[in-house]
Amino acid sequence: MAIEYSLELNGSDAERISDLLAHAAEGAAGRFLGAGAVLASGVLTAVSASAPLPFPDPVEQELGVKPAVHVLFRFDKDLDATEQRTDMVRLVSAVLKETQGDVVLTFEGEIVWLLRKGGQLVISDRDGFWTPEATALLPQPHERATLPTL
């Protein structure tokens, strides 16, 4: 089973986000649109325009964020998850710094780890993900709070 995180954002387009990630990535070969690119840590990163779902979108329903761009982060289960998470958070931080819209980072489409809505950045207070090292990569200011499960 793959370990997947999704970054959903509005206020931008897939081409711009792909270019932004390509600029921020270290050790990635190729662009992130379509099939994506694999970072040196092993995390596959792919950008696409959000497509309508055949059911109500939980990100839109529960969080009020209508995604325009979807970024997939798929971890290689045979490689170091900590390094892959660091690369992912570094790329998410680049998106946060260079865009203005709402942003949601989820694990397996259910656990919300990060939410920026209306310019306010909130990270989940759940244990295990936001280590001091990962938190240090985020732009300031941000707060910790309980975020919903989708």
Q: pLDDT by residue (tens digit) across 84-120?
A: 999 999 999 999 999 999 999 999 999 999 999 999 9
Residue 46 phi, psi dihedral angles, 5° rounding:
-135, 140
The pLDDT of residue 53: 83
pTM: 0.94
- Kindly report the CATH class assigned to 3-145: alpha beta
Domain residue extents for the chain: 3-145
**What are 41-99's pLDDT values in tens digits?**
999 999 999 988 888 889 999 999 999 999 999 999 999 999 999 999 999 999 999 99
Give the per-residue pLDDT at 56: 86
- The alpha-helical segments, DSSP class H, found in 42-80 are 58-63
Torsion of CA 73, 78, 81, 82, to 10 degrees: -130
Q: Which residues pair with 131 in a beta bridge?
A: none
